[in-house]
């Protein structure tokens, strides 16, 4: 079953349970997937679905920070709830230590020795962590290697 169908089924379950808040959050997820499906005019691959959900999760994180900055705790709480719903559909996340270990493994495998090889490292690393660890944090961890 595709992720879009799974989300639609959960919308129905939430509607039957009378859980309007969950229903609305699930509808936002479904609409993001459906919009991309319509734009592409073909079924989405699992990687594309994860990319869409990752993008939606990033939007929610940024909105939470923005709402907290202006003191709108109620809106920040709603965005956090939506983020939790989205993360329920994403693959299990990686810890920073797991990503560091993966970076160390790839550095050894690829023979990364200088800063000019960082692109090669990122190219090999990103497909393995996509949707499971924020890209900005991956870049930060790679930069911490202090390659010359």
Residue-wise pLDDT for 91-132, tens only, equals: 777 888 888 888 888 888 888 777 887 888 888 888 888 777
Q: Which run of H or E residues covers position 12?
A: helix 3-17
Q: Which domains does the chain show, CATH number per domain?
A: 3-87 (1.10.1510.10), 96-143 (1.10.10.410)
pLDDT-wise least confident of 12-26, 28-42, 72-86, 89-103: 89-103
Whether this prediction's pTM lies above 0.85 is answered by no
Model confidence at 42: pLDDT above 90: no
The confidence score (pLDDT) of residue 148 equals 61
Alpha helices for 18-144 (secondary structure H): 20-40, 46-69, 73-87, 96-110, 118-129, 135-143
Q: Report whether 112 contacts 146 (CB < 8 A).
A: no
């Amino acid at each position: 079953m595709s992720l879009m169908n799974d989300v639609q089924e959960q919308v129905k379950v939430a509607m039957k349970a009378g859980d309007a808040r969950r229903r609305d959050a699930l509808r936002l997820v479904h609409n993001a997937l459906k919009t991309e499906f319509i734009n592409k005019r073909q079924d989405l691959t699992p990687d594309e679905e994860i990319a869409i959900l990752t993008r939606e999760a990033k939007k929610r994180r940024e909105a939470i920070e923005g709402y907290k900055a202006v003191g709108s705790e109620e809106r920040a709480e709603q965005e956090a709830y939506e983020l939790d719903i989205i993360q329920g559909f994403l693959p299990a996340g990686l810890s920073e230590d797991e990503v560091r270990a993966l970076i160390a493994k790839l550095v050894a495998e690829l023979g990364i020795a200088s800063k000019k090889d960082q692109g090669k490292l990122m190219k090999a690393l990103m497909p393995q962590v996509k949707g499971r660890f924020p890209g900005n944090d991956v870049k930060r961890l790679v930069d911490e290697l202090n390659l010359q």
